[in-house]
Amino acid sequence: MIAKNVVNFIRSNSFKKNSELFLRVNRMAYVYARLWEEYSQKSDDANMEELARDSLREMTVNIDKSIHALASIKQEADSMSRKSRTAMTGTQSQGKISDALKHYVKAEKDWLKLNDLADAVEREGVTGQEDVIRDDMNRLFSDISENVKAAIDMLVGLRTMALDEMGA
């Protein structure tokens, strides 16, 4: 294992790009979940009902984008019954979106550790530590994959419930 190859391997993937996309669309999904909750509480007004439906639709679109961004991260890390209709609320949705974000944060911390590893390899090389470096890389990529999968599973379940709620 050559130091330059290790650094290039860690730094050449698209985690940062997918990370920024996930954070942006996940934040938007959370805002739409809050709007949906607010508008749903004022459903006696036809305009508010329409705004609630629009907010739910936008939340779903952004959740879908979140899933795709996380799936890209998972796919990259992996390379190194439809549910019944449920009574879902905006508050529950916000909680699930926040829980998915917690798993993402764990993945991001592991990603930062990989970058620290790359920095250490650049400074000190890999002589005599190839196995340790390889083990650390495998563990960190595995942890990233597991945390991102957990976040995807949460968001997929939430998207399914939102689609059920819309009758789609």
Q: C-alpha distances in angstroms, 84 versus 4, 60, 87, 157?
A: 52, 17, 10, 11
Whether pTM > 0.75 for this model: the answer is: no
Is 33 in contact with 97 (CB distance < 8 Å)? yes
Q: What is the pLDDT of residues 5-39, one digit of tens each?
A: 666 666 767 888 899 999 999 999 999 999 999 99
Cα–Cα distance measured from residue 43 to residue 41, given in angstroms and rounded to the nearest whole number: 6
Cα–Cα distance measured from residue 19 to residue 7, given in angstroms and rounded to the nearest whole number: 19
Q: What is the pLDDT of residues 77-122, one digit of tens each?
A: 877 633 334 456 778 888 889 999 999 999 999 999 999 988 888 8
Residue 126, domain extent:
3-166
Q: C-alpha distances in angstroms, 62 versus 24, 56, 80?
A: 9, 10, 28
Number of domains in the chain: 1
